[in-house]
Structure 1
Amino acid sequence: MTRRNPDLTARLRDYALDAGFAKMGVCRPDAVPDLPARLDAFVGQGRHGQMSWMADRMAWRGDPSALWPQARSVVMLAENYAPDTDPLAILERRDRAAISVYAQGRDYHDVVKKRLKQVGRWLIAQEPEAEIKVFVDTAPVMEKPLAQAAGLGWQGKHTNLLARDLGNWVFLGAIFTTLDLDVDAPEQEHCGSCRKCLDICPTDAFPAPFQLDARRCISYLTIEHRGPVDPELRALMGNRIYGCDDCLAICPWNKFALDARDARLAARDDLQAPALVELAALDDAGFRARFSGSPIKRIGRDRFVRNVCYAIGNSGNPALAAALKPLMNDADPAVADAARWGLARLDRETP
């Protein structure tokens, strides 16, 4: 354990804010004692779907103190990425693709991790004997419960983190350190009787407030789910081809959301309402070129075009059918199945 420096936490907070983060908080690695039980319940009911990584290393995921026993403090940082337009408006343009706000700019993993490392270097410069590890959504770390324990906000009824001074358009990063930093008071829940995020969900993915069944979540279905999507859910996906922002966009606390400070997180012009027929024509090379530097790239061409086929089928516009016909015999079975489903659905729309 590295000794406590009484004013280090305050100076660290000032530096983190100057570096571009919107908010910082500190908690102990064992600050969420009920986390193992919550995780066990989620996985035990199968609500993680195909996300086997949720079940892997559950001892670490459920107990951050086990991930790195030498760590004494967890520094949680929030970076805002609030959109400058209404994310729900695109849902009415059914010949266009709805892409989640967070994925319209540069990959947040790269942006946030670079800034985390900058803050970490400053911390080491102040306390050379200290050790740190930085995490951005790529390790068995439950960022949202830790962020609540560190006072950044609370997990709302939609299970995402939100804050009274930030809304819920935030990326989270964590710095584990051997330093014994001063901790912040945990934030309490302030959702009250509001249930807008639950009611707007197109697929009823929330079995109860503060609970998510990922198997019905459009973000999960378009990003994590491999193979064909349950036919019951396809029509409910609308034109959402990568993620879903409905429960985030409707939250009343967003009236306090801050504009994104990092230009790299701003939406790319070609990812704001792109034409579905244009995306359906992408081969593997075209997909990789178009989404270079984007988080979308990681799902691969096949899963992406599968989603586009569902969206075209949901467009209600038979004129888009021509984009699906070349995909009926696609090498990927899920794409071919989606193309045939989309054509059949459009055929039913023809007068």
Structure 2
Amino acid sequence: MNVVLDAAQLVSRIQAWGQELAFSQIGVAGVDLSAAEPGLLAWLSAGCHGDMAYMAAHGLKRARPTELVPGTLSVITARMDYLPRATPEGWQSIEFERLDRPQEAVISMYARGRDYHKVLRNRLQTLSERIAATIGPFGHRVFTDSAPVLEVELASRSGIGWRGKHTLALHREAGSMFFLGEICVDLALPPTEATSEHCGNCTACIDVCPTQAITGAQRVDARRCISYLTIEHAGAIPLELRPLMGNRIYGCDDCQLICPWNKFAQRSPLPDFDERAGLSGAALVELFSWSEAEFLRRTEGNAIRRIGHERWLRNIAVALGNALRARHDERALRALQARADHPSKLVREHVAWALSQTHNPLRSP
């Protein structure tokens, strides 16, 4: 049955439904993002998107929701916290300590549970259905990091968080350990209040970046970013960046781990984001031994699956090379040698590089 609500009442109702669906926050943004266009164009012109050609192909459509979804009058924004339920106190220090154990594989925290695309998309669709059940059919489209949308821009305009110097959205009561999602709607809804910035003079995220990918406040060169290199980049990892990757095999959390605001990061109430066995604290040699079938089985329903087995081996080979540079390890050597004749040229090249890093106390660092 359709219910007559004014726009403000509808937003309040949507926010309540969002809370029931485990969203941490729901906001509303307008569709005029023209102020963000010069920065987007400058970033693309500088080639900072690397080989993510789709970003250049979409161009300014990312800043124009009405071109992406004709008829859009408002964008409903959503935040969902993702720290696992069992995350201990002092988790930031615990995660940093992993980087000091070269033989341990480090996977970004967001990717240790169920694929967030699936979780958010399903719940945003359910939210859309609740709106339709109340007001009747309406035009809408759901997004979760799945289309040319300026997510952080929309998030900041709607009060979800401000853009940190690492370019991620930050919230005073939730840090940055959350996912973003949007629903473009053909409803004229009142925007929720934008949030102000609270980074101040802090440059912790810029200073800690292993590859110096954060080239300035709110500007990241993806070509140097470990998250990009291990996930989005399909080819060979630049030689000069391999030693800087350490044991990070999927993503990088350093800029978030160091951020003071993440002492307020929230744990998710959903079991979806609980860590899967084998994706936290595993040895590099163990993960490197996975066949393609085992990789697909272990990563079913997980975001890691999208990079495929070839890139998985590429990434781990680099980490094993870095571990070998730190100290001699027979297990690592044997694991690499077993992949030396891998059918993939990409894997073979990274394995060869890794074997060349064998620890030699007489060699200069």
Identify the TM-score tier after normalising by the shorter chain.
Answer: over 0.9
Give, in whole Å, the separation in 1 of the partners of 2:172 and 2:7: 30
Give TM-score scaled by structure 1 length: 0.96
Cα pair distance change 1:65/1:3, threshold 3 Å = farther
Paired AA for residue 12 in structure 1? I
Q: Which moved more, 1:97-106 or 1:133-142?
A: 133-142
Q: Could you tell which deviates more after superposition, 107-116 or 339-348?
A: 339-348
Alignment correspondent of 1:232: 240
AA of the residue aligned to 2:83:
A
Cα distance in 2 for residues equivalent to 1:207 and 1:21: 32
> Given the alignment of the two structures, is residue 250 of structure 1 paired with residue 231 of structure 2, yes or no?
no
C-alpha separation in 2, matches of 1:349 and 1:197: 33
The one of 12, 15, 24 equivalent to 2:14 is 12
Alpha-carbon shift at residue 347 of structure 1 (Å):
4.2
The separation in 2 between residues aligned to 1:90 and 1:68, in whole angstroms, is 43
Distance 2:294 2:238 in 1: 28
Given that 1:76 and 1:150 are in contact with CA atoms closer than 8 Å, whether structure 2 keeps it comes out as yes
Name the counterpart of 2:333.
321
SS of residue matched to 1:106: coil
Q: In structure 2, what is the equivalent of residue 336 of structure 1? A: 348
In 1, are the aligned partners of 2:65 and 2:184 still within 8 Å (CA)?
no
In the TM superposition, residue 62 of structure 1 has moved relative to its aligned partner by 2.4
- 2: CA distance, partners of 1:209 / 1:72: 31
Q: Does 1:295 align with 2:303?
A: yes
Cα pair distance change 1:322/1:24, threshold 3 Å: same
Q: CA deviation at 1:328?
A: 1.6
Question: Does the aligned pair in 2 maintain the 1:21–1:77 contact within 8 Å?
Answer: yes
Residue 21 of structure 1 is matched in structure 2 by 23
Please list every run of at least 4 consecutive aligned residues from structure 1 whose deviation after the TM superposition is greater than 6 angstroms: none
Q: Is the 8 A contact 2:327 2:359 kept in 1?
A: no
CA RMSD of aligned residues (A): 1.6
> 2: distance between equivalents of 1:145 and 1:194?
21
CA distance change for structure 1 residues 6 and 151 in 2, over 3 Å: closer, same or farther?
closer
Given that residues 3 and 180 in structure 1 are in contact (C-alpha distance below 8 angstroms), is that contact kept between their aligned partners in structure 2? Answer: no
**Larger displacement relative to structure 2 (327-336 or 159-168):** 327-336
Partner of 2:81: 80
What are structure 2's unaligned runs of at least 5 residues? none
Q: Distance in 1 between matches of 2:105 and 2:75?
A: 38
With structure 2 as the length reference, what TM-score do the two structures score?
A: 0.92
CA distance in 2: counterparts of 1:302 and 1:60, whole angstroms: 32
Return the alpha-carbon distance in structure 1 between the equivalents of residues 62 and 248 of structure 2.
30
Alpha-carbon shift at residue 65 of structure 1 (Å) = 2.2
2:192 maps to 184
Aligned pair partner of 2:98 in 68, 84, 90: 90
Q: Which amino acid aligns with 2:151?
A: E
Shift of 1:131: 1.8
| Deviates further, 84-93 or 220-229 | 84-93
Aligned equivalents of 2:296 and 2:338: distance in 1?
20
Aligned residues: 349
Tell me if 1:346 matches 2:346. Answer: no
Aligned equivalent of 1:208: 216
Q: Is the 8 A contact 1:104 1:271 kept in 2?
A: yes
